[in-house]
Amino acid sequence: MASEAMASEAKATSELTKNKAFMDLYSRQIGAFGIETMSKLVNMKVLIYGLGGVGIETAKNLVLAGPGTVTLTQDQNPTINQTRTKTQSREEDVGSPRARVCAPRLQELNALVRVGVHEGGLTEELVGQHDMLVITSPDLGREELIRWNTFCRQHEVVVPDARGKRVSRQSPIKFICAAAMGALSYVFSDFGDDFLVNDETGEPTVSRTITGISCEEDGIIQLVDPHTSELAQPHNVEDTEHRGYVTLSEVEGMYCKDEASLGKLGHSINSSGPWRVQHVWKTIAEQLIVPRSLGGDGKQREEQFWVRVRDEKTGELVKDADQADGLKRVPKFARECGDLPEDLFVRNEDGSKATRMTRVKDFYKLKIGDTRGYSPYEGGGVLQQVLEPVVHHHKSLGTMLQQPVAEGFPSLMSCDGDKEEKGWWYPLLHVTKQALFTFHATHGRFPTPNDEAEAAEVVGIAQSYNTAMSQLRSFCGESQACSVPLDLAGEAVPAPDVASLPQEKQDAIKSLGEGVGLDEVRAYFALERASWNAEDAMMALFTDPSAMDALAAEKVKVDTFEAIAAIKKFTYAAGVEFQPLCCFIGGIVAQEVVKYTGKFTPLNQWLHFDCVEVLPDSPPPAAAAPAGRYANNVTLFGQDVQDKIMNSKTFMVGCGALGCEFLKNFALLGVATGEQGLVTVTDGDRIEVSNLNRQFLFRSEHVGTPKSTTAAQSVKLMNPAIKVRSLELLAMPSTENVFDDDFWAGSGVPNADDVAERPAGGFGIDFVTNALDSVKARKYVDSRCVFFHKPLLESGTEGTKFNSMVVLPTLTESYDEGDPEPAAGEAIPMCTLRNFPSTIVHCIEWARGQFEDLFVTPVSTLRDFLDDPDGYINNLRENAEAYMMDANDLSKAIEAIDNKEGTGLLTTAKTLAEVKAQGFAACVRLAADLFNKLYNHRMRDLIHQFPRDYVTSDGKPFWVPPKRFPAVLELALAEPTVLAFVISVANLFAVAYGLQPLPENGRNENGEEFDTFVPEAHEWRAEATVRAALAGYAVQDWSPSSEKIETEENTEEAKEAAPAESVEDLIAKLTGLLSELGAVRSQLAGAKAQPADFEKDLDQNFHIDFVSAAANLRGRNYGIKEATRHKVKMIAGKIIPAIATSTACATALVCMELVKLLQSKPKVAFRNSSNSFAINSFQMAEPSDARKVAGRHEEEILPDPVSEPDAFDETGAPLPEYIRKSVWVAVPSPHTKWDRINVPAGTTLGGLVELLESQHSILLAGWTCDVETEDGGKSGVVLYNKPRDAAALGFDKELLLATAPLDLSFQKAQMAILRNKDIKNKQLYSMQWKALQPEQVAKENAFRSRNLADILEEKAGSLSGRKSIELQVNLENADGEEVRTPPCVLQL
């Protein structure tokens, strides 16, 4: 039965991969989940009860994710204030059944999901028809939640047994309940007693090349050694029961020796199944840092020798009973052993000197078990990590309400390190939740918002519950219940107000705390007990045994007060919904539902999350309940805060998945719905099919339209009052005329063409919201935020991972200062890509490069040539014949016209003429020629130069892993991949040479859809057309190439062996080629060349078709397992996996920070986050302080291995004499990037020099600016360089004037200087003579007297619209050392 189920799953997965519409829609999600997970998800049925904020967010994210069925049910209808937290609700929906209203709009999101509606409450029949029940309505009550959880756990189905008898079989329904109550939320997950998880982390498995396997009791696999190949990679296989298994394939040899063991060992090790691996350890000489006292530099590492110790008085060796030889030994560096007698060195068994050793993992070996039953290893092999499913055990809701800590876990799951450190915060959230449930059970509702009496009642319930649970733990054991480790009914005192104390007391608290490791509260009370005498306080801590206990007691009182205050805060808000928190929990719940497929780790089992920091310090007055769309916000924060939200201005950069979620959140919160509010959104992209899976403001009819304008129109359906200004621009230096100073710091309105007049005054935008997927763009926007001192809300996602960051001017580090981006994967050596691939990734990268080399670069050159062919030919000929080109220029020109790859201009021009004359048939023949060149002839050349038995110059076999011996392919059109290659290449050539328009789609000026694709049924896509074009086609016979194939060993030899040609020979060759090109030119009248622009998401353009076919054919050449089209697309397109839930949660966290920002909360209230759904890691932390630049620093500048290859020793370490030092000094010290040196408007160059010197004691060494080049780029221009100190160079002014008076002519002055034997530096004196000329002095003085702004405008263009500009200056101190300062900003 299991094998049948697996076969059925495999068949379903295969069918999905053939569904182009499915693969297009879910391409990014498949990258995160995998196609196997998607094949399970599409058959899943989910029932959602509760369509409040959390319920609708869950439903929205789920529909985008793509389960088979999502059924909605809810007892109540929405009210006007509830529409503000619900994605799919609008004002006209008030009073209508929620499920019926929301279902059609959810259905619009994804036609592949069936969205159903059940009107009425839950029934057993209804629940039994689904695989999972999700309850998001806390109003259902605790007892009802327990009842439905019990029903789900005990659910049974009636099925026929093996004999046809109908029997009951247990079929538990997965259960999730969740709620967001003000600033407190929870998620509970119950997947049953035993739930199989196939992949806990979602991290990719590893594949490695094997170079050896030993036949022994503990067989060892040897991977490629880093000492023999730059392709070596550590195994990265964990030694765990889940990820610690591997399978082996392509191993030569290692056949089962005993027929009786075939069942256990398999026919060979390749068919032996998974092996449980263990890590291999090795002992190596330990490398330790040489101390400075011994001449080290604090970084250099060396090994130490073991040396025996001789007693100075007796001369005897010192004894040590703990040593094997009974003698004491000490470690010493070699530099300490110069005079030591040889007999003092401890020796190894082989007589060598013993060194200090350490045990480390060998990352290139793995132990797999007993391999003695196999014949010897002969070569090759691939190791593939496989995952062993693990069983997770869940308990019922009733059980987990009493003891929410999962078995095997020390505490409740934490989401905030600062709160976790308290030790009581997360138990407090559970106790508060229980108290709120009890209040609801008593009153039939949650507490009235901001009601002091009802908050006090909840506190009393919490105190009683906590006491009862504490007693239960005491009597029955800690595993029986959970309680707050505080006596909530005990004495409570507020924390001391340290911030209001005199500075000297604050400093004393900090000093004592840091000195003895006390927190602020304990340090305060310690000093208070000692009458603020720091010495007495310190002494008491060490002499009075009861002092620490007394301080701990004070801390408990403070903690108790804080805990009670937190319960009250949560209670004040529990009766209303906070939209960002609903959004966050909805994302988590939706992703938890996906885990039904066995992908990723399910929650175990409670998640408690709060955002208490967002609440005001004291609740708004408990007046009559506010009405209207924003009633929840007004209840939580008051009308003043809501007014700020509504009148805020934000600049949102990017409008993809993140941008859509932000706009939705803005609309529901009320951002920019007031008279002064505005959201300016800009994005240069257009909507593609793959966007529809995550960017939920877009529908299929929007494909091809601009993202920004479409999203702006869509979000107005949610909230017509929101003001959105959409632009189709990128945020970059070239658009600073639109996003100008007035936009950032004045009106807050962009300087767009359709804006007649912008309002005067104002403070510009209030905050910036980044919704970008480009690090470069993010850093640019970050730099503008720093310059204008604007808060930045930053977020990002990658698959199941997401993060958020808030940048607060002057307080926190900026985005650019944050954690560096993960390093890109290691570069693949060119010789590997060209000739020796060992993985399918190598093949895909090679195919992607072929696309550029065939359809982009040469076609671009041909297009440029066709623009002015006569000019191209004549210009090159004239320059060559006039000897205006050196040998290097001539060689480059020749290479461009006729190269060995066959992609030179002459070849492409001839090809264009052929295609122009013969049409598509010529393109088919070109494709056939290319196939034979790449997969037949090149492989024959490789085998010819390096036959299977080839050995290297040092006598070692050449074809050893990771190298794979190639096979030759034949042009067999009956083979689908070969045919796909020919068709894709022929069609790409047809576009390149003008037979077919460039592939595009979108909407025309009339809004009508159009595309220029070759239709699916077109003859150019047909096998018959290919065969007809190749009728009579003869494959060119192979003959060995004279070109030497590059390997790792011969790369340098090939470079050195290239013979040099004379300039005359090169000119003759070039002019001959130009003559040939001229002859072809006459055949190209009316022809055109169209270089491709690689686009991964337009499947009809043949781009991915080509890369997929080309890569997999190359894989066949080398016996490499082929990849699916989707995998090729992800790798070649560098597609980042993405899912809707990550986007929803990231933006929700950002919007929590937005509300804090508009309340002017202190830095301690803000949170950055780093999260992963896969492993249930949600970590919040206070933003890091702005980085301080201080002091004097000396940095090493290492030599460049390319330009200075002789600067390294045999191990690759740089030689000391090539390491240069760079010194810089911070001025002022300290400073941050938020600081600035302000240069007043109207300052001259001389004034700047004086300002820097007088106010900061620094010198202006240089000043540059960027100017725009003809090609639209930027080029630096020097505006000023500090005159050299001539006197320091030995210049004597009196000697100069005596030798060459200033009234001499320049020629006579030069002669006089040359003749004077006392003048050694002739060039210096000549330059100084010029500089002292009165007209030159006057010119310099005039330049120094010019306004800085005038100089900039003259060089860089108009400064119109700018209020200030950062000066690009180089600064130094009087010692000539580099000075680093905050930005120098010129006011305009």
Catalytic residue numbers read: 831
Q: Is the peptide bond before 829 cis (omega within 30 degrees of 0)?
A: no
Please, are residues 1138 and 795 in contact by the beta-carbon 8 Å criterion?
no
Distance CA 915, CA 904 (A): 16
Distance CA 593, CA 178 (A): 12
Three-state SS string across 791-835, please?
CEEEEEEECCEEEEEEECCCCECCHHHCCCCCCCCCCCCHHHHHH
Single-letter residue type at 1033: Y
Exposed (0-12), middle (13-18) or buried (19+): which is 157, by Cβ within 10 Å? exposed
| Residue 716 backbone dihedrals phi, psi, to 5 degrees | -70, -20
Please, are residues 1256 and 1290 in contact by the beta-carbon 8 Å criterion?
no
Tally of helices (H runs) and strands (E runs) in the chain: 45, 42
Q: Is the peptide bond before 962 cis (omega within 30 degrees of 0)?
A: yes
Distance CA 569, CA 447 (A): 12
Contacts of 915 (CB under 8 A, 6+ apart): 922, 923, 926, 989, 990, 993, 994, 995
Exposed (0-12), middle (13-18) or buried (19+): which is 854, by Cβ within 10 Å? buried
Q: Using CA of residue 782, residue 784, residue 786, residue 788, what is the dihedral sign? A: negative
Please give the sequence-ordered ranges of beta strands (E in DSSP) within 683-744, or none if there are none. Answer: 724-727
| Residue 891 backbone dihedrals phi, psi, to 5 degrees | -60, -40
Q: Greatest CA span in the chain, whole angstroms? A: 123
Q: Is the peptide bond before 1382 cis (omega within 30 degrees of 0)?
A: no
Neighbours of 530 (CB within 10 A): 18
> Which of 1351, 1363, 1369 minimizes the C-alpha distance to 1387?
1363
Contacts of 702 (CB under 8 A, 6+ apart): 687, 710
Distance CA 703, CA 1097 (A): 12
> Which of 47, 162, 169 minimizes the C-alpha distance to 114?
47
Contacts of 579 (CB under 8 A, 6+ apart): 53, 84, 85, 632, 633, 665, 668, 669, 1151
220 forms bridges with which residues in the sheet? Answer: 367
Distance CA 484, CA 476 (A): 16
| H or E, element range at 1259 | strand 1259-1268
Count CA atoms closer than 13 A to 27's CA, side-chain side.
26
Please, are residues 1357 and 1268 in contact by the beta-carbon 8 Å criterion?
yes
1244 forms bridges with which residues in the sheet? Answer: 1347
> Which of 1105, 1134, 1097, 1108 minimizes the C-alpha distance to 840?
1108
Distance CA 1000, CA 699 (A): 19
Helix (H, G, I), strand (E, B) or coil at 1046: coil
798 forms bridges with which residues in the sheet? Answer: 801
Tokens of 290: 């040489």
Distance CA 579, CA 134 (A): 19
Distance CA 280, CA 369 (A): 12
Helix (H, G, I), strand (E, B) or coil at 1149: helix
